[in-house]
Amino acid sequence: MVDLSTTYLGLQLDNPLVPSSSPLTKELDTAKRLEDAGASALVTHSLFEEKIREEDERLMRFMHNQEIGSPEADTFRALPDDYMTYQEKYLEHLLKLKSSLNIPIIASMNGTTRGGWVDSCKELEQAGADALELNIYYVAADAQENAGQVEQRYVDILQAIKAQVNLPVTMKLSSQFSAPLALVRQLEEAGCDGVALFNRFYQPDIDLETLEVVPRLQLSTPEESLLRIRWAALLSGRVSCSLAVTGGIHSRTEVIKALLAGADVTHMCSALLMKGPDYLRQVLQELQQWLEEFEYESVAQLKGSVSQSKAIDPAAYERANYVNVLDSYTPPPGVRW
Amino acid sequence: MPHPEMDVIDGNQAAAAIAHLTNEVVAIYPITPSSPMGEWADEWSSKGQKNLWGTIPDVIELQSEGGAAGTIHGALQAGALATTFTASQGLLLMIPNMYKIAGELTPTVFHIAARSLAAQALSIFGDHSDVMAARSTGFAMLASNSPQEVMDLALIAQVASLESRVPVAHFFDGFRTSHEVAKIETVPVDVVRAMIDDSTISAHRRRCLTPERPVVRGTSQNPDVYFQARETVNPYYQAMPGIVQNAMDAFAKHTGRQYRLFDYVGAEDADRVLILMGSGAEAVHETVDYLNRQGVKVGALKVRLFRPFDANALLDALPETARSIAVLDRCKEPGADGEPLYKDVVTAIAQQAMAGESRFKQLPRVIGGRYGLSSKEFTPAMIKAVFDELAMEAPKNHFTVGIRDDLSHTSLDWEDRFRTDAHNDNFQAMFFGLGSDGTVSANKNSIKIIGDSTDLFAQGYFVYDSKKSGAVTVSHLRFGTKPIRSSYLIESAEANFVACHQPVFLERYDMLDFAADNAVFLLNTPEPQGAVWASLPAKMQTQIIEKNIRVYAIDAYSVAAAAGMGKRINTVMQTCFFAISGVVPHDEAIAEIKQAVEKTYGKKGKRIVELNYKAIDMTLAALQEISTGHASMAGEYATGALKDRLVKDADSFVENANSFIKNTDSFVKKVTAEIIAGRGDLIPVSQLPDDGTYPTGTAAYEKRNLALEIPEWDADICTQCGKCAMVCPHTAIRAKVFPSELMTDAPPAFKAVPTLGKTYPPGNHISYQVAAEDCTGCTLCVDICPIRDKSNASHKAINMTPQAPVVEQERENFEFFLTLPEYDRTTLKSGTIAGAQVMQPLFEFSGACVGCGETPYIKLASQLFGDRMVVANATGCSSIYGGNLPTTPWTKTAEDRGPAWSNSLFEDNAEFGLGMRVAIDKHGEQARELLQSMAPGLDQDLVEGILTADESTEAGIHEQRQRVAQLRKALESTADERAALLTELSENLCRKSVWIIGGDGWAYDIGYGGLDHVLATGRNVNILVLDTEVYSNTGGQRSKATPKGAVAKFASGGKEVGKKDLAMLAMEYGNVYVAHVAYGAKDTQTLRAFLEAEAHDGPSLIIAYSPCIAHGVDMSHNHRQQNLAVKSGHWPLLRFNPALAAKGKNPLKVDSAAPSVPYRQFVESETRFNMLWHSHPEAAEQFLAQAEKEVAHRYHYYQQLAELDWEDPAVEQQLANKKAQAMSDKHQGTRGRKN
């Protein structure tokens, strides 16, 4: 029997399959099904800074606009006492997950500033989260802000959060950093317990009818995993924090590659959304079969065995790879150059 | 005696607290100013708060006050303890049931926030007209004078009613008491418990209707016994005063507060006495105390139990020394030789004297007078004037006080400067703010803080203007070590603290006139510290120097923005008040504000609390005392330079108030402008219309300059579609087509371009002009504009731009625009938005809420039909923004044609409009008859033309008007004696369009019976229902139009039943034109519906979706919400045109596609629905699931109806008969020839 267990953020997990933040972890029922299918931990759906802010704004407007200065109407509907805020509802959900599931729950927070939302992590800890995943979904759209300042933003937020909680904290990073290795080291110094590679930015689209810019949600494809696997391989062995690969993990193939590159866990999302929570069971079984077939004793043995430092051709993860790829391209059948 | 608990509450809450505690059934209907009582009861019940007997009172909202009274009557008959709250016309609607309830000797207490009755005009403010109209119902009547008394007497009324079986109308002055926030000693629950004798309740229950003890009640009686039976109740009424006094005495034992049926205050040996009831009695009490201290022998009698009237108790309470007595009534009984209380007092004294038992040393002279109608101020100076009058040799009887009556000369003069010394004991503060800037809520909060954290007594009263958008509020706060009896506003030179929350008020209001010597003035201003002094008007500078006022300034908007509070300045200004007023020690005050913030927002969001904390801290750092300029100005003052400047400035406030009124008639100058300037109190009787008739077109005089940004037209890319003008809720953006040559006189910045396309002949320009000073900056015109700049997607054909830099130029442009001639409406294409929007709107610049969803419909009707429109308007938002003085948005054309508008009541609007139709039709018929009979003496073609006119088009209408004008001319030279009558009636030979307008509260609820009946008459009226799906005007109570799952007052857990389908009900008649429209979703369908409805020669019903701030949406998204409502299936667009059925076609057209947006998306976008997900998520999901099904079903049902093959057997038969007849004629003809 192959030992599938792994360690992530100091948590002992039964296997490296950890569903990432998605609508599936939003419902108790589907979360339970994920656990039953073999998920070793869950990342909850995100507590969004924007939603907290938006609700604050809406509540302020609502309470403020109650008063229109009419002698006939002191208020329109007042806010009921049993009103639960977005944050309160999130915490309630977290409590429910904790009481119904046995696997560790990693609470996800999504935001970009050091504003009031950071305080929420304390409450997440109190509600029983086993770790925090911090998704700083930040698009550097400010021309005044240089790369160093963007990186410092990550460090600052992390420090603000570490100062408040005793939980392990992982950072879900963007792939768009000039020097990810150096950044991860910097984060590590600031107390980061792990990094998740990488966030997928949903791309805004232009509606040709209205000329409005509209958000578009597209699920990932397995190809996207390769970018992540490369950076996992480059980080593995060079940093001591946990590594997770997220984005494009659709089957055991990507899971194995990610582990080989050095990931401690892999996060699945799009594949589960497309095939349902029970699909995880299949991936887990296939992973086990593969490991047995190739006579691995444990995931630990496999982890990082093809990281850059241990790869047959370390340069293949770097620029050399690029030249080879370009040269190897031939036109598809029927196409003449 | 239990330890007294103090609380800061208003009169309504005080009454509701006792009512909720001592009743089982509460049936209500909202009416200002009593609505909050029902809302409190509902809120407590929905939170599970129990009554004295451990059960939660059942609170139910009815369709009218008549319904509420009927429900109460039924509940009482079934043995429940039941109550209701009402006012004004609401009380009148209850009168029939009140007679029954009293006639059947049923204990109950109705709590009434006494309010004026609609007579020459509606008024929401306080007086005793309503309760006096109910004084013969058999209800006992008990008056409370202050919030403290409201709570105390509410309990005494309950106790006495149960014991006596006589129902009680417990009343207190609307607004002055119902809305006065005061620190009062609350009545502990155990006192209520101890006061109520459960055996009286058992007795009530034993009398109830039950099959276990079957009886019959409510019989009809004949001449033989009715009279005697009516006299059977006398012993109960004789016993009632004693029972009330006993309850008062028992109450005193529990609380130490002793009341009497008639409470006398003042000198034991007074020779002059005032008698009155209600809040005014407190001001009298204060004045009497003051005068007594001056050695003046006066007194006052407060009447508490007015019915049953205990004459002996009244007389016993008066001092024997009284030589002259004035009885003051807060109501008017036209035609009577005195008002009710006066006559009762005279009768009491006369009866005693006639019996030879007079207790007076000398029979006193009694005069009666009226005061305080519609919350008119009643001040110590006026009270003193009455006492002075009593000292006269021949005092004036039937006088008035508080107004200047130069018509019937009833009024007493008063010495305006007279003050009592009550304010010496008080700290008095005034705050000038906008309704929307949170000034009132901040002040309520401040009173609570001061009331809770100090031993001071506190009083707060709030004065609003009549507008919904940009309403001005003035808060009057008093704090003092003694109970505050000043039931009047803070007067000139009395305020220790004056705050100006809006910099624009500096030019508008003489705020420092209210400041006392050494007062503190707080100003919100964007000026930097060094420039503040110079920015003040000269008059204000003079006042500051003369009164030695300390001035503090803060840039509240900047502080609020920097603290992340946006434009919300309430916390900032409240902090300033505490920081500099000195009412509570500084540090303690700041801690208290923070605590209050935590209490208000804590549960809702830590960040909100933090933002407020941040704002508080930043405020303390930013608040500056303005002193530097002071010294230099003092120099200027000393040298007289300031005085010179002052003279030059004249009275800048008066100047500003009148500057916009140019070349206009004297009425507008003498009345309208004076009211706008806040000097309405000074207008003498003779200047006001005697029958409530006012000129239209006056909203144009109120340049309110509310918008920070206004729309700017980009003529180069505009396609001239007219949508911006169509959606403007305030008619502040106008389209006009005019001859190009007129451009030569245009101001340089005036924009116009040649018309596009072939709609207009060449040589015409079009302009879309903004009325910059009337725009409210709602942004809806920009939102609807479909045109984008090809090279810059964010730039539209209309864009917002800051108002201040362009206001001068745009004022000039708009003035020029108004001088341009209107385009000939007979050639305009009214069937297109672009064409209809060139028609002159005859509804402009309403004071409706910013972004109002109702007004565009009214404006559209005024454009299409305004010059032939008569409007019956139900009470509600549309009657308030439509006809609340000083101005009206209804206006007229250059030819003085335009809508004639009236508001009758809330409940009877359909019938009111029907009456207009009937009259017009009758006069039309009479005119045609006359015309026919006079035809021989007139031009035959003209007569024929008039009688057979086709007025289905604008051109036809125009021609008919010309023919009628010709007729009038011809009649001038006729000797026929019928000519005068025909001339008088001739206007009815032209088509008139009757519009019946109101909200869903009227159409679905209180006026539904009438509306239904009017539809059934088949008469040609157009009914426009502005459906906001909630009672908007009275603060968001549920109506039968409220959709399932929406949260509203009286539906705090989401409305359980679906919205009534008014369209479907109306369609059932078959001959009613029905349309369901939403202009923001499909404007062309709205336009078509209006045209078809008006063209339909029968009843038409347009149900118009109207987003409202009560929906909890940002009104700048008004169109998006309309779109979502339509696309989600919530609001299907349809038209049912009986004209089609007559042609054998299906009359129903569904104009919206099948629901394409999930219903969830619609409900999640509106707070009225989505709030439920935050409080009752399961119920919300359930409602959503049901509503989803229902909207799908409804659409499907309509769709099926619309697809029905319309083979009407009757029509088919008719067609077949015709055919057969033709065949037969043909056949017979042939045969005939043959034979």
Angle, vertex CA B844, rays to CA B843 and CA B848, nearest 5: 100
Residue B687: is its pLDDT beyond 50?
yes
Q: What is the pLDDT of residues B324-381, one digit of tens each?
A: 999 999 999 999 999 999 999 999 999 999 999 999 989 999 999 999 999 999 999 9
Give dist(CA B1144, CA B985) in Å, integer. 38
Residues 207-226 of A with CB under 8 A from B: 211-212
Position B57, amino acid? P
Give dist(CA B343, CA B370) in Å, integer. 13
pLDDT exceeding 70 applies to what percent of chain B?
95
Q: Which whole number is the average pLDDT over A28-40?
A: 96
Look at residue B719 in the predicted model and tell me its pLDDT.
96
Q: What is the pLDDT of residues B1008-1047, one digit of tens each?
A: 999 999 999 999 999 999 999 999 999 899 999 999 999 9
Chain mean pLDDT for chain B: 93
- ipTM at complex level: 0.81
Residue B711: is its pLDDT beyond 90?
yes
Q: What is the pLDDT of residues B602-612, one digit of tens each?
A: 766 777 888 89
User: Please, what is the angle between helix B11-21 and helix B147-164, to 10°?
Assistant: 30
Tokens for A45, please give them: 């759906």
Place of tokens 């299949």: A282
Look at residue B644 in the predicted model and tell me its pLDDT.
65
Partner residue facing B604 (CB), from A68, A73, A85: A85
Look at residue B677 in the predicted model and tell me its pLDDT.
83
Residue count of chain A:
337
Q: What is the pLDDT of residues B1031-1090, one digit of tens each?
A: 999 989 999 999 999 999 999 899 999 999 999 999 999 999 999 999 999 999 999 999
Q: Min CA distance, B1183 vs chain A (Å)?
A: 17
Contact of A79 with A63, CB cutoff 8 Å: yes
Q: What is the pLDDT of residues A308-333, one digit of tens each?
A: 988 888 888 887 667 777 777 788 88
Cα diameter, chain B: 123
Q: Residue B610 catalytic?
A: no
Give dist(CA B956, CA B949) in Å, integer. 7
Q: Min CA distance, B800 vs chain A (Å)?
A: 18
Within a 10 A sphere around the Cβ of B384, how many other Cβ atoms? 21
Residue B661: is its pLDDT beyond 60?
no
Tokens for B398, please give them: 């039937």
Q: By the CB < 8 Å criterion, does B435 face chain A? A: yes
Look at residue B647 in the predicted model and tell me its pLDDT.
57
- Please list, in sequence order, all residues whose beta carbon lies within 8 angstroms of the beta carbon of residue B531, skipping any fewer than 6 positions away: none
Residue B641: is its pLDDT beyond 70?
no
* Neighbouring-strand partners of residue B890: B843
| B592 or B167, which is more confident | B167
Question: Can you say whether residue B834 is alpha, beta or left, with left for phi > 0 and alpha for psi between -120 and 50 degrees?
Answer: alpha
DSSP string across B747-760: -TT---EEPPTTSS
Residue count of chain B:
1235
E strands present in chain A: 6-8, 11-13, 17-19, 42-43, 47-48, 105-110, 131-135, 169-173, 194-197, 204-206, 213-215, 242-246, 265-268
Look at residue B631 in the predicted model and tell me its pLDDT.
54
Q: What is the pLDDT of residues B797-818, one digit of tens each?
A: 999 999 999 999 999 999 999 9
Q: For residue A323, count CB atoms less than 10 angstroms from its CB and return exposed for 0-12, middle for 13-18, buried for 19 or more.
A: exposed
Would the CB atoms of B1035 and A75 count as touching at under 8 Å?
A: yes
pLDDT band at B664 (very low <50, low <70, confident <90, very high): low
Look at residue B653 in the predicted model and tell me its pLDDT.
47
Measured in whole angstroms, the distance separating CA B746 from the mean position of its chain's CA atoms is 41
Q: By the CB < 8 Å criterion, does B447 face chain A? A: no
Q: Which of B853, B828, B846 is nearest to B838 (CA)?
A: B828
* Buried/exposed code over A260-289 (b: 16+ C-beta within 10 A; e: otherwise): bbbbbbbbbbbbbbeeebebbbebbeebbe
- Strands, sheet with B472-480, edge to edge from the N-terminal-most edge strand: B5-10, B181-186, B457-464, B472-480, B426-434, B495-500, B515-524, B550-554, B624-626
Q: Which whole number is the average pLDDT over B217-234?
A: 97
Q: Which whole number is the average pLDDT over B37-45?
A: 96
Q: Which of A293, A264, A248, A279 is nearest to A16 (CA)?
A: A264
Look at residue B567 in the predicted model and tell me its pLDDT.
83
Q: Which whole number is the average pLDDT over B1127-1156?
A: 95
Residue B1230: is its pLDDT beyond 50?
no
Q: By the CB < 8 Å criterion, does B1171 face chain A? A: yes
Residue B50: is its pLDDT beyond 90?
yes
Tokens for B251, please give them: 């109450």
Residues 573-602 of B with CB under 8 A from A: 600-601
Q: Residue B165 catalytic?
A: no
Give dist(CA B335, CA B444) in Å, integer. 42
Place of tokens 């209800």: B139
Contact of B833 with B1084, CB cutoff 8 Å: yes
Q: Which of B1035, B1177, B1166 is nearest to B1113 (CA)?
A: B1166
Would the CB atoms of B1033 and A79 count as touching at under 8 Å?
A: no
Q: Which of B23, B86, B115, B619 is catalytic?
A: B115
Q: What is the pLDDT of residues B165-200, one digit of tens each?
A: 999 999 999 999 999 999 999 999 999 999 999 999
Chain mean pLDDT for chain A: 90
Look at residue A67 in the predicted model and tell me its pLDDT.
64
Residue B628: is its pLDDT beyond 90?
no
Residue A119: is its pLDDT beyond 90?
no
Position B137, amino acid? T
Residue B633: is its pLDDT beyond 70?
no
Dihedral sign computed on CA atoms, order A26, A30, A36, A38 = negative
Look at residue A215 in the predicted model and tell me its pLDDT.
81
Q: Which whole number is the average pLDDT over B904-932?
A: 97
All residues of chain A having their beta carbon less than 8 Å from the beta carbon of residue B472 are: 69
All residues of chain B having their beta carbon less than 8 Å from the beta carbon of residue A55 are: 605
Q: Residue B65 catalytic?
A: yes
Give dist(CA A25, CA A27) in Å, integer. 6
**Is the peptide bond between A198 and the residue preceding it cis, with omega within 30 degrees of 0?**
yes
Q: Which whole number is the average pLDDT over B413-431?
A: 93
Tokens for B14, please give them: 């005080």
DSSP state of B411: B
Give dist(CA B1032, CA B1183) in Å, integer. 23
Residue B3: is its pLDDT beyond 60?
no
Q: By the CB < 8 Å criterion, does B1167 face chain A? A: yes
Q: What is the pLDDT of residues B726-754, one digit of tens each?
A: 999 999 999 999 999 999 999 999 999 99
Would the CB atoms of A68 and B1176 count as touching at under 8 Å?
A: no
Residue B468: is its pLDDT beyond 90?
no
Would the CB atoms of B435 and A65 count as touching at under 8 Å?
A: no
- Please list, in sequence order, all residues whose beta carbon lies within 8 angstroms of the beta carbon of residue B704, skipping any fewer than 6 positions away: B467, B470, B773, B774
DSSP state of B269: T
Look at residue B487 in the predicted model and tell me its pLDDT.
97
| B16 or A83, which is more confident | B16
Q: What is the pLDDT of residues A225-253, one digit of tens each?
A: 999 999 999 999 999 999 999 999 999 99
Q: Which of B420, B696, B1033, B1123 is catalytic?
A: B1033
Q: Which of A238, A244, A247 is nearest to A271 (CA)?
A: A247
Q: Min CA distance, A121 vs chain B (Å)?
A: 13
Would the CB atoms of A81 and B849 count as touching at under 8 Å?
A: no
3-state class (DSSP) for residue A11: strand
- Please list, in sequence order, all residues whose beta carbon lies within 8 angstroms of the beta carbon of residue A290, skipping any fewer than 6 positions away: A252, A256
3-state class (DSSP) for residue B81: coil
Contact of B1098 with B871, CB cutoff 8 Å: no
pLDDT band at B704 (very low <50, low <70, confident <90, very high): confident
Q: What is the pLDDT of residues B866-894, one digit of tens each?
A: 999 999 999 999 999 999 999 999 999 99
Q: Residue B656 catalytic?
A: no
**Nearest residue of chain A to residue B462 (CA atoms):** A71
Residue to test with chain B: of A53, A74, A77, most B Cβ within 10 A = A77
End-to-end CA distance of chain A: 53
Would the CB atoms of B1048 and A67 count as touching at under 8 Å?
A: no
pLDDT band at B2 (very low <50, low <70, confident <90, very high): very low
pLDDT band at B1229 (very low <50, low <70, confident <90, very high): low
Look at residue B659 in the predicted model and tell me its pLDDT.
53
Residue A286 belongs to what H/E stretch?
A: helix A279-293
